[in-house]
A = this chain, B = another copy of it.
């Protein structure tokens, strides 16, 4: 029995790694869609670098558990499907929808790391618990930034739409 739950736990780390690889792709695409919102664009660029380091740290966790690169890559395909579905939730290119999608995705990450930390503690895997706690704080920082800035972005979007400026992106 214990072996099954441990395998499930390794699967969850693998999913988190795939989630960050897909998050990087999502951020790359979002960076190109917020040209008229330079603060948002700068924050997405900063978080892209954070996200890439997170993926590397999760890869180190998987390697410590004896996972090789090929099984790590397999999981990326699974998460790609999830991300595609996620993108479909917010089909327009309105900047406010980009804000909602980013904030929602950050919080999917936050709850996934809450699960992972609980599981890492359950299995006495202190190093993964430590790494996931660090990553969780980074995701919380990004989510907090988005939450603080969404009302202002909304106001800018509406003001620009009313005066004929570049509103959507």
Task: State in angstroms the CA–CA spacing of A80 and B166 once bound together.
Answer: 31
Task: State in angstroms the CA–CA spacing of A143 and B110 once bound together.
Answer: 11
Task: State in angstroms the CA–CA spacing of A42 and B166 once bound together.
Answer: 47
B154 touches A115 (CB 8 A): yes
Q: A85's contact among B88, B106, B153, by CB below 8 Å, is which? A: B88
Task: State in angstroms the CA–CA spacing of A122 and B163 once bound together.
Answer: 14
**A126 in contact (CB, < 8 A):** no
Segment 95-140 of A: residues with Cβ below 8 Å from B? 96, 99-100, 103-104, 106-108, 110-112, 114-115, 117-119, 121-122
Number of interface residues of A (CB under 8 A): 44
> Assembly of this chain: how many copies?
2
Segment 1-60 of A: residues with Cβ below 8 Å from B? 1-2, 4-5, 8-9
Which A residues fall within an 8 A CB radius of B?
Answer: 1-2, 4-5, 8-9, 82, 85-86, 88-89, 96, 99-100, 103-104, 106-108, 110-112, 114-115, 117-119, 121-122, 143, 146-147, 150-155, 158-159, 161-164
What are 11 A-B contacts defined by CB distance under 8 Å? A5-B161, A8-B161, A85-B85, A86-B89, A103-B108, A103-B110, A103-B114, A114-B150, A115-B151, A119-B158, A122-B155
